[in-house]
Amino acid sequence: MDIEQLIPEFNAFQQEFPDFDLFIILASDGEVLYSSNPEKVNPEETRSLMHAWLKRESACMFGQKRYPILSWEPLQFAARNVKGKDALVGTITQSSYYLLAHLKAGAELAPAIGAIQLNRKFWKLI
């Protein structure tokens, strides 16, 4: 995985879907392999988030906010913060890494659709 080649892909994806404002690549244990904004990412929270996704828990914490999980299938993940109206979406990639993205509050894109779009774009790239 060459991060330098992925950055333009993230930028192009964000141009097409401007509701996305953060991209994180994670190992299955929650280790952060890349973040488009490292200041917004807490490794403790990413480990907890991956645990919640893989163990099918009802909610996860991210950015000190609680996100009830809407979908935690092996292929994709979607969670929405009810109070803030923002969302987290994710997908597994062909190389068995996990791509997580943040959808801004008030996003037009539904979380489950956001996860599908991530998978379509990044399955083979990561």
- pLDDT tens, 79-111? 999 898 999 999 999 999 999 999 999 999 999
User: Is beta strand 65-72 parallel, antiparallel or unpaired with respect to 76-80?
Assistant: antiparallel
Query: Strand 87-92 to strand 76-80: parallel, antiparallel, or no bridges (unpaired)?
Result: antiparallel
Residue 84 belongs to domain with CATH number: 3.30.450.30
As a whole number of angstroms, the distance between CA 87 and CA 101 comes to 8
* Domain around 74: 3-122
Tell me the torsion sign for CA atoms 117, 120, 121, 126: positive
Number of domains in the chain: 1
For the stretch 29-83, pLDDT in tens is 999 999 999 999 999 999 999 999 999 999 999 998 999 999 888 889 999 998 9
Residue where the block lists tokens 């200041």: 39
H/E element, 14: helix 3-16
